Amino acid sequence: MAAPPNVPAMAAMEAGEKVSVWNYDLKPEGENDVTIKITKCGICATDIHMINNAWGFSVYPLIPGHEIVGEVVSYGSKVSGFQKGDLVGLGCLAQSCEKCPKCTTQQRDNLCPELKFTYFHTVVDETGEFQHRGGFASYIRTPASKVLKIPEGLDPAEAAPLLCAGVTTFTPLNEFSGNTGSLKGKKVGVIGPGGLGHLAVQFAAKMGAETVVIARNEAKKDFAFQLGATGFLVSESKDDMEAAARSFDFIISCISGGELDVHPYINLLAPYGTLHFVGIPDKPLTLDLMTMMFTRRSISCSPVGSTQQCRDMLEFAAKHGVKPIIERFPHSKAEEALEKVRSGKIRFRAVLENDLLSDAHAEKSGYGQ
């Protein structure tokens, strides 16, 4: 059934406000658009920063959500490769120029200078001006170039967090593997086994790396081994950290916010080792380059991956059974889910399931855990 012109969503009407039901007009379907009936949407910390206008460029009413999974209900005349009923996903990337080397030959559209994010930007196409909207909604209409097919074997709700948290952690690990997907013989550390980290552990382990979780205390030790880790290192233990010095080829830091002294982690790196960030501490890093120069160590960081890297990640996750641990909430209880994410009590990613359309109410049973 085609999408109605006006659809229910959950939106923040002003900065910092709770999300509530808000009906909005879908943009007219352009020749390059796909219209998706949303069934699932993951919640990311970025959604909370955007609701709060933390970076000063939020536009209200704001419909958050960039881990979107749903079914294709219609598409424009120039769209190929999709059929009605296809299970598809949309992550952080909404639109890019499709002309520059990053968008074409290099397949790194996440680095396009004209990149537009899901629910950040107002843009113009042949149907007129419109604002990109997020997945806390019943439908989304969006350029087909960033829409991904969800491979068979992935649960739609578990696929949702892969579209941001999954690709963000998979991409630097896969790049470190030379895009081979194999880290056999390498020792990888994962700092912070939380929302991002619990996926990084699985990806590194499934790539064959000796995978060590690095955490402040032993609270998540059993959990780390369940995820596939082969070792556990307590960062507060100076003796253990010293014993592991110069042994890691790659360490991925999945912690956001707070203050971080990088030197204990740099000390863990083998010559040519890399400390890589997918989360950013609140305070700028202080860095003694002497700890890196004579060992050829590096520090790097990366944003969400490209559309092609997201395709590669979905394929890898389906093949190797990588999946997030999720808590499910109906879309109408989005505020409850956001509150649990804000308080750090979520284990480990929240996923909304669409109950905003009357014909979706039948899916309601089984909400909660």
Which positions touch Zn ion (CB under 5 A)?
44, 46, 96-97, 100, 103, 112, 164
Quote the CA–CA distance of 356 and 250 in Å, as a whole number: 44
**Closest CB to Zn ion among 97 and 360?**
97
Give ∠ CA 40-124-311 in degrees, rounded to 5: 40
Nearer to Zn ion, 97 or 357 (CB): 97
* Beta-carbon contacts of residue 327 (< 8 Å; ≥ 6 apart): 337, 340, 346, 347, 349, 350, 351, 369
- DSSP assignment letter at 259: -
Is residue 313 within 8 A of residue 159, CB to CB? The reply is no
The smaller minimum CB distance to Zn ion, of residues 88 and 212, is found at: 88
Q: Among residues 164 and 191, whose Cβ is nearest to Zn ion? A: 164
Q: CB under 8 Å to 17, separation ≥6 — which residues? A: 51
Q: Which is nearer to Zn ion, 187 or 349 (CB)?
A: 349
Longest Cα–Cα distance of the chain, Å, equals 64
Question: CB of residue 307 vs Zn ion: minimum separation in angstroms?
Answer: 11
**Closer to Zn ion by Cβ: residue 97 or 241:** 97
Q: Exposed (0-12), middle (13-18) or buried (19+): which is 134, by Cβ within 10 Å?
A: buried
Nearest to 115 by CA among 307, 313, 350: 307
